[in-house]
Chain A
Amino acid sequence: MKGKTVTRADLSEAVYQEVGLSRNESAELVDSVLEEISMALTKGESVKISSFGSFLVRMKGERVGRNPKTGEEVPIKPRRVLVFRASHVLKDRVNKGASS
């Protein structure tokens, strides 16, 4: 089971199995959940999903970077980055391994 990659299609399938909706609608719901999260983050809001984790938007200041290939100095503009902090529940689940 190791090394498999789970995609949107698998999430849609899980929603399809769980709730009595069509496959199409299940897929749309998965998309809209991800889209709502993205929109909140884009507005600078953080998103906290209990027993899963939080997505936080951090501001990074300007700094001087370097092109690793040429060694040339390049300014890196201030930017916003997204950080994910896993909740304890998720960390514990991951460490206990596949129990479901």
Chain B
Amino acid sequence: MTKSELILRIGALNPHLYHRDVERIVTTIFEEITNALARRDRVELRGFGAFSVKERDARKGRNPRTGETVAVEEKVVPFFKTGKELRDRLNGRSDVPGTGGDGNTLTSAASGDAGLHKESGNPGGN
């Protein structure tokens, strides 16, 4: 799915809105997230995930073609961590793609055999 397809779907769900407005709505959402990250703020969207930035120290890199050493400046990189609900939905217990999204596929407390997925030590999980 691309951004324009996303806009079309949202438009189809909201026939009373002008296409132009749907476009602005979708654009605004990603703009807001971008602006927040540019301020180095965190963006937490419950059930979906969290965007944040990570700082990378300056380091010495190498031009792989010439072998020459180059200085890489410190920088920040955007980072996304999938939220628990979405992670669970991606792994809806049946594992059959396409069954998700009926709002009923939340397997959070999957029948106890899923061992590891119990998620200890992540109070920030959203």
Contact = CB atoms under 8 A, between A and B. Distances in A.
Interface in B55-111: 75-80, 82, 86-87, 89-92, 97-98, 100-101, 105
Nearest to B103: A35
B101 A43 contact: yes
A13 to B, nearest CB: 9
Nearest to B113: A77
Contacts of B10: 29, 32-33, 36
Chain A interface residue count: which class?
Answer: 35 or more
Nearest to A80: B90
Interface in B105-126: 105, 114-116
B51 to A, nearest CB: 8
Given A14-B29, A91-B78, A5 B41 contact: yes
Interface string A67-100: 1000000101101111010100011011111111
Interface string A1-31: 1111111101100110011010000100110
Interface string A42-65: 111111111111010100000001
B82 A81 contact: yes
A67 B26 CA distance: 42
B35 A98 contact: yes
B28 A15 contact: yes
